[in-house]
Structure 1
Amino acid sequence: MAQAQWRSSNLFILVSMAMALLTDELLYAFMVPLLPYMFEHRLGLDNSIVQRCTLLFLSEGALICVFSSPIIGHVSDMTSSKRNLLLASLALAFVSSLATAMAESLFVLFASRFFQSLASNALWIVGIATLAENIGSEHMGKISGMISTVAAVGTSGGPVLGGMLFELGGYWTAWMGAFAFILVDIVLRLLMVEKKRTKGEGKMLDPEQEALLASEIPTPSDLLSEPVLSAAAAVESEPVVEQSGWRFYAYAFRHPGFFAGVTSFFVFSILISSFNTTMTLHVQRVFHWDTFRVGLLFAALQGPGMLLSPVFGWLKDRVGSRWPTTAGFLSVVPFFWLLGVPGDDRFPWANEGTRGQTIYSFCMIMIGSLLCLLNGVGNMEVTTAISELEAERPGIFGPNGGYSRALAMSSMSWTMGLLIGPVLSGFLAEVGYYEMNCVMALLCVLAAVNAAINLSSRRRT
């Protein structure tokens, strides 16, 4: 029993899932520096279409995430053990990554990318659902903070790792590094033991607690000695109708926190993706910065999250996500407005000497720091809403709960923001970079109102 206890401990489950999510981010990001080589040298494509193929390759993953999320969430909630789904996802990730590495035609490359994206989405949804079920939705703030840090490390370290291994040993050496991460994940998943779900309340028990409960099962004589329920009490305990299919989402969206969490996550995603689309071109045109300085700006945007996300996650577990999220949206409004000022002829005071560069860099650091308050708001709120709804009506989402379907909706909102954000910001930037940032600031104000009204506010002890 003691041997299995550490395998079902919160710490080991947290480490295992963190490793899975880190591997998933690394697997996506490390391919970026390899794609030009794959398209030009392995597939023999002309250099003039490499950029277009790279865009299609990366966009394919986002589209698959949007359409596959509800299906993955449904399958996950119909399965009592998430461990087998995680193992299947890792196996699919390994096989599809191997096919991607070996691809010598566009058809094989995009087909393998399809299955790779499917496995990646499953790892995220099932992995976070595993954390919520085993560690508890009341800790989703800290969990989301950890996830944000892991994602930032994977996103930032992936291209560095891929490029370094490619330079040191070539194409296949780079891929061996990715395969090694997947194999380590598979081993951790085989070692991990899920806690058992108790009936009714949906709580999870480790193997030792399960054994203690089993020893307390009443005997037939105990049952005979129990008083019989009155007819009135029997009438009151009406059977709960399970909400499945589209009824699950209709029922969940009636909860204000669920709706506000999904929409807040969607706006947050739009804000992040707008930088990827417009920032590089703007600073190169206005400040004539090189690639290194642009990279430093992205580090200023992403770096604070690696340090501040766990702290803000702990804060949200203590006071709820209403006021941190509201403060996050409102506090970035002046900095979004000020971000559009340098380079605009209507504000000559901001374009004297290097003042514009200083203002822009300062705003980027502040936005990167304050946006950490929004990390994980979708995952935190949807799991909290599901826990509250199941507490009111136990079994309403089936014997295995509804965390996976809820997290699938959160994942969809984030991915849709990543798809819509570049289109929206690119269109607005054609009108004017200042105008684009004013629209982003307005979105933040509207999202802050939504958060203040609908998100949860609670204090943990």
Structure 2
Amino acid sequence: MGIQSAPSRSPIAFVVPTMSPALRPTTARPPVENQPPPPPVGLRWRSSTWFIVSTVGMGIFTDMVLYCLIVPVLPFMLQDRIHLPDDQIQSQVSNLLAVYAAASVISSPITGLLADKWGTRQLPFLLGLSALLIATFLLALGQTVLALVVARALQGLSAAVVWVVGLALLVETVGSDRMGAVIGSIYSLMTVGGLISPVLGGILYRKTGYTGVFGVSIAIVIMDLIMRLLVIERKVALQHEQQSVSKLQYGHDRPSPETAPFPSNDTNENTPLLGQRRPAGDPRYRLSSKHTSKKSFLARHVPILVLLPHPRMLTSLLVGFIQALLFGTFDSTLPVAAKETYGFNSLRAGLLFLALGTFDLFIGPLAGWAADRFSPRAVAVVGYAWLAPVLTLFRLLAVPSNDAGVDTSREIALFCLLLSLCGIGIAIVNAPSLVEAGLIVDAYHRANPELFGERGPYAQLYGLNGMIWNLGLAVGPLVAGALKTWLGFGNMLAVMAALCAGTAVLAFVFMGRKGDDEVFEEAGDA
């Protein structure tokens, strides 16, 4: 009975409450100053796929609207504000358009190189918009040709940043296998901006003068700025999510590698792409030691050049170049041909671009989806094979007589119909170039992470693609103008048809099929 008595335990029971606080067992709690910062307000929707895609789309829309909004106003600015002689206005307008293209060509690869080296996409995205805002103020207030030249150069720089950084941000958000549908939708949004802004610019200038034109421009830039400031990159969102999980499970924000949780396999549109484990690279995409050793200066600093000899890469760049060449061809020759052939004024000639671009609103997203679902190769072949006969048919249009009273409505209707059919083909070939190049880079990035780094050379890729595309946009008017003068409008388009047919053949031969794993064989190993 004595063994069961409690008095022998009672002193111990009274000691525990009177223990020194220093000796009392406590749970480990980090100091207040080491607590992780609270997550940003609206973290989920600000890092969501729909918001990031919308922001990039808004940036490209803004760039296109401000580019086209100013174009119909430039001749009046040069005449009324800067007081240039009439015989110099056309040449100066052409020079200002060329400055924009040249600035984009030069800055695209540089932007891609710097964007891959920086730790953030948002910073260069904001810097590009800053350049656009400065350009808008220069156009609104500039009193010299030099001020307008600087403004157009800044617009070209901003366009390069939007395309390069924006597309790199998109591929990190949605993945290479979904870029086709996204790019198709982005191009459609760009088409909307390109179609409505010249008309809007002309109306605003006529009704309100420069105040309305540049007031609307600045308002659009401010809306774009707000969206870019709100965007949270996926990798930043991932850091906040990991800190929240770690704090709940371990009581601190930095678990050790041994106890850190593996990423969940449950993904949705808000799951950060960069937070998932990348699939192991296909060994057939493994580059030789001469590349992975990084002994080449260019391979160390511009690793995208290692893939440039790849036949699929070269073909994808060619597909984009020919598409831009067609854009430049119609931009430079369509108004003049309509005036010479049918006596159109500037308004009626401008309305022809509605026939050329309207189908892009519907066909672009569908063609992008098809590039994801089937293959960029199939879409490129169909698009360029479609364009070849349609462009050739322009040669069959009868040239109206110059006699007064001759009814040309039938020829004009056929002309608009052919333009619409061309618009379908151009919309189809919007996405294949970027999607194909992205798939190639993604495959080699997974197989060679030590060469391309954690984020991969995606900004470099889109910088290279942007340079080639803008080069086609600049070369197109020069080549088309010379051919039109030499051969005529119909025969010039027949030459373009031959280029499209050749591009379709090259795309069929060299671009990858669905699920195709081509092995890279470096050109010029000798």
TM-score normalised by length of structure 1: 0.87
Match of 1:288? 343
Match of 1:233? none
- Separation in structure 1 between the aligned mates of residue 394 and residue 417 of structure 2, nearest angstrom: 9
Q: Please list every run of 5 or more consecutive structure 2 residues that lacks an aligned counterpart in the other structure.
A: 1-38, 261-288, 401-405, 517-526
Q: Does 1:192 find its partner at 2:247?
A: no
Match of 2:499? 443
Q: Comparing both structures, which one devotes a greater share of its residues to helix? A: 1
Could you give the per-residue CA deviations for residues 378-433 of structure 1, whole angstroms, max 9, x where no partner exists?
A: 22222222111101112322233211110011111111111211121122222323
Tell me the amino acid that sits aligned with residue 126 of structure 1: V
Q: How does 1:135-146 map to 2 (within 5 A)?
A: 135-146=174-185
Q: How does 1:136-285 map to 2 (within 5 A)?
A: 136-196=175-235, 205=238, 207-208=240-241, 211-212=244-245, 219=256, 240-241=292-293, 244=299, 248-285=303-340
Question: Cα 1:244–1:400, aligned 2, differ >3 Å: closer, same or farther?
Answer: farther
**Pick from 62, 67, 87: which aligns with 1:23?**
62
Deviation at 1:284, TM superposition (A): 2.8
Question: Cα 1:368–1:210, aligned 2, differ >3 Å: closer, same or farther?
Answer: farther
Could you give the per-residue CA deviations for residues 62-112 of structure 1, whole angstroms, max 9, x where no partner exists?
A: 011111111111010101211011111112211222122111112222123
Q: How does 1:51-450 map to 2 (within 5 A)?
A: 51-196=90-235, 205=238, 207-208=240-241, 211-212=244-245, 219=256, 240-241=292-293, 244=299, 248-343=303-398, 356-433=411-488, 434-450=490-506
Which 10-residue stretch deviates more, 322-331 or 119-128? 119-128
Contact 2:449 2:456 in 1 (8 A): no
Larger radius of gyration: 2
- Separation in structure 2 between the aligned mates of residue 314 and residue 209 of structure 1, nearest angstrom: 33
Deviation at 1:247, TM superposition (A): 5.2
Tell me the amino acid that sits aligned with residue 228 of structure 2: R
- Separation in structure 1 between the aligned mates of residue 160 and residue 331 of structure 2, nearest angstrom: 21
The number of equivalent residue pairs is 435
TM-score normalised by length of structure 2: 0.77
Question: Cα 1:457–1:212, aligned 2, differ >3 Å: closer, same or farther?
Answer: farther
Question: Cα 1:116–1:352, aligned 2, differ >3 Å: closer, same or farther?
Answer: closer
Tell me the amino acid that sits aligned with residue 208 of structure 1: E
Contact 1:342 1:357 in 2 (8 A): no
Could you give the per-residue CA deviations for residues 290-349 of structure 1, whole angstroms, max 9, x where no partner exists?
A: 44443332111111101210111111111111111101111121111111222469xxxx
Q: Root-mean-square deviation (CA), in Å?
A: 2.8
Question: Cα 1:357–1:178, aligned 2, differ >3 Å: closer, same or farther?
Answer: closer
Question: Cα 1:196–1:355, aligned 2, differ >3 Å: closer, same or farther?
Answer: same
SS at match of 1:396: helix
